[in-house]
Amino acid sequence: MEKESKEMKPIWYFVGLMLSAMGAVVLIAGVANYLSPPARQTVLSQLHPELWWGSVMIAAGLLFFFMNRHSKTE
């Protein structure tokens, strides 16, 4: 899909970086909410969705990142 100047990282590498970074932010916010629960609780907050969804995002992000770490596209 991409036709860039030579020797460029593929888009999937950046997708991996973005997902890992955002997953980390979600996970950190989740840990903070777990340690000191906020005054206003959301529905199903007892399941701590930030903790496991943040982990899923980090896992997916790292997968994209490592699979495309060495590849280059034209």
List of residues contacting another protein (CB under 8 A): 1-4, 11, 14-15, 18-19, 22, 25-26, 28-30, 32-33, 38, 42-45, 47, 49-50, 53-54, 57, 60, 74
Q: Cα(first)–Cα(last) distance of the chain, in Å?
A: 11
Cβ closest to another protein, residue 29 vs residue 69? 29
Tokens matching residue 55 = 């982990």
Nearest distance, CB of residue 62 and another protein, angstroms: 14
Nearest distance, CB of residue 7 and another protein, angstroms: 15
Tokens matching residue 42 = 């959301």
18: nearest Cα among 58, 66, 56: 58
